[in-house]
Amino acid sequence: MVGYAHVLRDLPCLFSCALPPSPVNVTVTQLKANSATVSWDVPEGDVVIGYAILQQRQDGQMQRFIREVNTTNRACVLWDLAEDADYIIQVQSIGLYGESQASKRVHFRTLKETDRLPSNSSNQGDITMEGLDKDRQLQTGEIIIIVAVLLMWAAVIALFCRQYDIIKDNDSNNNKEKTKPSSEHSTPERPTGGLLRSKKKSPSVNIIEV
């Protein structure tokens, strides 16, 4: 009986020694109005098969217990949070023989709907602005190409119109030269009539009286 009593006395120590240590470096990031991300670290060398999270509002109106096993995740997204509300969370590691002690209590406050995201939103904004800058650069390049093509066409049309006016002027000058009166090139006619004829002398009559 003494031997069994010794074993029964040591059982709590055996189970407590087999439990994993509490998570460390519990932090809350990705704060939004209705969600947040909690992450933690687990000391190396301990077998951890899951985690448990105790989530509660500071005013005591809501309490939630999240438990997941057969996972190596070291982060969890908390959904359906109230906006602009204070929360307290604690994380436990789940081992082969039970759960660890709860971590230190971590306090956080959700954002308002009108607030901007303090984390990752800046990166997303930078990516969006880079995309907009690239689009603007592409649009500017396309506009420059279109303007250059239009200027080339305008120059071609102007050159064509100029050549057409020159050809038209040459044709009109040629037509005017062809339509001049032929009298300018013909020899003048000699006048005919009594001017060139010799004057006939009228017969004179001499009367001699005896």
pTM, full prediction: 0.49
Mean pLDDT of the chain: 77
Q: Which of 73, 56, 52, 75 is nearest to 64 (CA)?
A: 56
Model confidence pLDDT, tens digit, residues 66-111: 999 999 899 999 999 999 999 999 999 999 989 999 999 999 999 9
Q: Which is more confident, 204 or 47?
A: 47
Dihedral over Cα of 19, 22, 28, 29: its sign: negative
What are the CA-CA distances from residue 58 to residues 38, 64, 174 (Å)? Answer: 17, 12, 104
Per-residue pLDDT tens over the stretch 138-166: 678 788 889 888 998 898 898 888 888 88
CA distance 169 to 52: 97
Q: Which H or E run includes 173? A: helix 121-178
Separation of alpha carbons 110 and 58, rounded Å: 12
Mean pLDDT of 126-144: 66
Q: Please, what is the Cα angle at 192 between 190 and 194, to 5 degrees? A: 140
**What is the mean pLDDT of the segment spanning 178-196?**
52
Residue with tokens 């650069």: 137
